[in-house]
Structure 1
Amino acid sequence: MLKKIFWVGVGIGVGALAYRKVSEARNFAGPDGLNRVVGRLADEVADTLAAFRDGMQSKESELRDSLGLDQAPESARGRHAAGETVN
């Protein structure tokens, strides 16, 4: 008797899950559903690219600071202030 109750419960759970999946598939089958999916994918790609760009800029500024590329030598700073060009 307990086995039968268990298997009836499993059957109800599988049936409910299948019904949910079929309902979701029906919602995505139309043009509106496709537009939603494509819109979500485009947003995710844009977010990923923005995060990548931010990380890349952060790393670049960290490298430039550690290598001292943004700091001009003292002699070049004086010439720039006077309007001379640096070769």
Structure 2
Amino acid sequence: MRSLIWLSLGAAVGVVAYRTAQQLRDNPSPRGLNRAVNSLADGAAHFAEDVRRAMAAREAELRAALGIEA
């Protein structure tokens, strides 16, 4: 199961890197680079936020199942 998660994460990172490289090729100016980096940073921030939210929800489920109060 873990290897499937890592494979999926690697594929997602590869797709993002490929798309960023294509955008840089299409817009080689410094503004294009800034836009691509900002887009990548925003995507990473949104992904991290989604992971944190899912972790908190799963922790709440586990605590409820075990009868542990936070």
| TM-score category of the 2 structures, normalised to the smaller one | 0.5 to 0.7
One-letter amino acid matched to 1:33: G
CA distance in 2, matches of 1:29, 1:70: 54
Indicate the RMSD between aligned Cα atoms, in angstroms: 1.9
Q: Which runs of no fewer than 5 residues in structure 2 stay unpaired?
A: 1-21
TM-score, normalised to structure 1, is 0.50
Give identity over the alignment, percent: 38
4+ runs of 1 displaced by more than 4 Å? none
Give the aligned length: 47
SS state at 1:29 partner: coil
Q: Which has the larger radius of gyration?
A: 1
Q: Which residue of 2 aligns with 1:46?
A: 45
- Alignment match, 1:36: 35
Q: Give 5+ residue unaligned stretches, structure 1.
A: 1-20, 72-87
Measure the CA separation in 2 of the matches of 1:62 and 1:53: 14
TM superposition score normalised by structure 2 = 0.62
